[in-house]
Amino acid sequence: MNTKPTSFLVFINGAIEHAEVNDFDDLYLRFSYVIGKDWKICSGLEEGTTQIAHKSVQIGSKIVFNFPLEATFRSTNPFGWPQLVISGYGLDVFGNDIVRGYGTTHIPISPGRHRIRIPLFVPRSSSKFQQLLAWFFGRRPEFIDPKVIAFNAGREMTRVRSHGYIQVVFNVVTKDIEELGYRIESKHPSHTSQQQFDNNETPYKKVDTCTSDIDQYTQTFQPDETACWSADKTSNSLPSSSQASSLSLLSISSPPSLSIQTSLPSSALLVA
Amino acid sequence: MAEVHVIGQILGASGFPESSLFCKWKVQIGSAWRVLQGDHEGQTQVDEPSDKPMANWCHPIDLHFATRGLQGWPKFHLQVWHQDLYGRNELYSYGFCHIPISPGSHEIDCVTWRPKGSLLEELKTQFIGGSSQLKNPDLVSSSAELYKLRTVSMGKIHLRLHVIVRNFDKYGVEF
C-alpha cells in the first residue's frame, strides 16, 4: 500500500558557531524560527537563548557560542520557508542590557551541509542627539518583535547600522519534497566564468572549496551537483558569483516583530 | 500549471561611492505568469555599515508564481538609492536581474548603472546632489530601447536566491 504523501519534512541540525564583532566583547543571542502559515514545527526548540559568551584575549576577535540548533518542520508548500532570526544582546558600559544586533537567514533549501555568515545590524537613532541620549540612558532603539526582520513589509522605515557577522552551520535533509513534485536541485550544473570574482569587493562571494579560509566565506559541502547560473550576454546581465563546485546557501530567518522608535525625517526626492 | 518558488534574500550592495543605501525592488513577469503568494515589490532598510563599505540589507524574498509558459520568466528590477544625513533620498543606480531558471541555490551579483546627464547636470549632481532618473524605470530590462541612453557604471547588488520548480516535467521542460 503506497499512499502519496501530502506534506514534506525538512529536518535541520547545526550550530550557531561564533560571532565576529569588533565593537564589543560579550554577547548572548536569542534565536527563533519564523515560518509561513502552511508550516509547522514538529520537533525541536522554536526559540531559545544562548549562553553569555565573551571574547578571549588569546584567540582573537571571535565570540564562540557553539550553540546547538535542531528542528523538524512539516509543510505542504515551500512558501514561507523557515527563517532563523537571531537577536544579540549584551551589557553596555553602564550595565544596561542593550541590543547589539539582529540578523536573519533562510534555512538552506538544498540538502547538505551549509555554513552561513549572517550580517548583524542594529537600528540607528534618528539624530546625533538621540544617539547621545540613547547611549547615556541605555535605551537604544530596538525592535519590539525581532521577527519583523523576516518580512518584507515595513522595512523601508528602518535605518540600521551593520557591524559584525554570526557564523552558523546547518545540516539539512528533506523528505518527500520530490514526491510532491518539487524540484529543488538541477540535474545539470551550469559553469560560471570565474573572471568576475573580485575578492576585494564583497565577502559574499564563494571561494574555492578546501583551500580557502573557511571563516571568511561561506561554503557548502553538498555531495551532489549544485546549480549555478551562468552569465548571459545582455548588457545588464548579472554574472553569478557561484563557483562550480561550491555553493553557499544563506537563509536569514526573520526576527519577531519589529518596533522602531526612530522616525525617518521627511525626505524629498531630488531630480536633476 | 507549473509553479516556481523563489526563496532567498537581497543580501546587500558593494562598490558604491557612499554608504547609507537602500534598494527598491520589483518583480517583472510576463503575461503567462501570475504571483500566487508573496510580495512582488518592496523596499529594503537603509543600512550604513560601520566597518566595511558594503550595505547589508538581508531582505527576505519569498515568491510563489504560477505559469503557463517559459516566456516572461520573472526578473527583478532593482534601484539603489542613497539617503544622506539630512534624510534626502537620491537615486544611485538601476539594475535588473533575471531570476535563475535552474532549480537550486544561486549567488547573484547584479551590476548597476546610472544615467549620465549633460556636463551641467553632472556638475549639479556633484555639488548639490540628486541625479538624473529615467522617466520610465521599466526601460532597464527592455532590450529594444536602451540604445538611446548614455550611462555610467555603479556598484553591484548581491542576491542569494533559491529556485524551486514544480510540474515543469509535465510540459517536457528539462532543467
Superfamily of domain A8-122+161-180 in the CATH hierarchy: C2 domain (2.60.40.150)
CB count, 10 Å around CB of A51?
Answer: 11
Q: What is the DSSP string of chain A?
A: --PPPSSEEEEEEEEEEEEE-SS-SEEEEEEEEE--TTEEEEEE-SEEE---EE--TTT-SEEEEEEEEEEEEEES-STT--EEEEEEEEE-TTS-EEEEEEEEEEPPSSSEEEEEEEEEEEEPPSSHHHHHHHHHHS-----SSTBGGGSSTTGGG-EEEEEEEEEEEEEEEEESTTTTTEE-S-SSPPPPPSTT--TTT-TTS---TTTS-TTTS--B--SS--------SSTT---B---SS-------PPPB-------PPP--B-B-
C-alpha to C-alpha distance for A62 and A49, rounded to whole angstroms: 19
Partner-chain contact A153 B143, CB within 8 Å: no
Residue A3 has pLDDT above 80, yes or no: no
pLDDT tens for chain B, 175 residues long, are 899 999 999 999 999 988 889 999 999 999 999 999 999 999 999 998 887 778 999 999 999 999 998 999 999 999 999 998 888 899 999 999 999 999 999 999 999 999 998 899 889 888 888 888 898 888 888 888 888 889 999 999 999 999 999 999 888 888 8
Single out the residue of B63, B57, B23, B98 nearest to residue A104, CA to CA: B57
Distance from CA of B72 to the nearest CA of A (A): 15
Which of chain B's residues have a Cβ under 8 Å away from the Cβ of A152?
38-39, 42, 59-62
C-alpha to C-alpha distance for B140 and A235, rounded to whole angstroms: 10
Domain residue limits, chain A: 8-122+161-180
Partner-chain contact A267 B51, CB within 8 Å: no
CA A239 from centre of chain: 23
**What ipTM describes this predicted complex?**
0.88
Nearest CA in chain A to B96: A236
Distance from CA of B48 to the nearest CA of A (A): 5
Backbone region of residue A194 per phi and psi (left: phi > 0; alpha: psi in -120 to 50; beta: other values): alpha
Partner-chain contact B166 A183, CB within 8 Å: yes
Q: Which of A106, A118, A264 sits opposite B87 (nearest CB)?
A: A264
Q: Which of B9, B37, B163 sits opposite A250 (nearest CB)?
A: B9
Q: Which of A186, A201, A252 sits opposite B156 (nearest CB)?
A: A201
Single out the residue of A156, A142, A148, A169 nearest to residue A13, CA to CA: A169
Query: What are the grid coordinates assigned to B133, written together?
Result: 532618473
Q: Which domain holds residue B165?
A: 2-171
Residue A267 has pLDDT above 80, yes or no: no
- Specify whether the CB–CB gap between B102 and B74 falls below 8 A: no
C-alpha to C-alpha distance for B123 and B116, rounded to whole angstroms: 11
Which one-letter DSSP state was computed for residue B137? G
Q: Mutating which of A83, A162, A205, A224 best tests the B interface, going by the most B Cβ atoms within 10 A?
A: A162
| pLDDT, tens digit, 9 for 90 and up, residues A167-226 | 999 999 999 999 999 999 887 665 554 434 444 444 454 443 333 343 444 444 444 333
Query: What are the grid coordinates assigned to B50, written together?
Result: 560601520
Measured CA to CA in angstroms, residue B11 lies from A261, B58, B157 at distances of: 24, 5, 8
Please give the tally of structural domains in chain B.
Answer: 1
Which one-letter DSSP state was computed for residue B131? B
Q: Mutating which of A160, A207, A262 best tests the B interface, going by the most B Cβ atoms within 10 A?
A: A160
Model confidence at A255, pLDDT cuts 50, 70, 90, reads: very low
CB count, 10 Å around CB of A156?
Answer: 16
- Say yes or no: A107 contacts chain B, CB-CB below 8 A: no
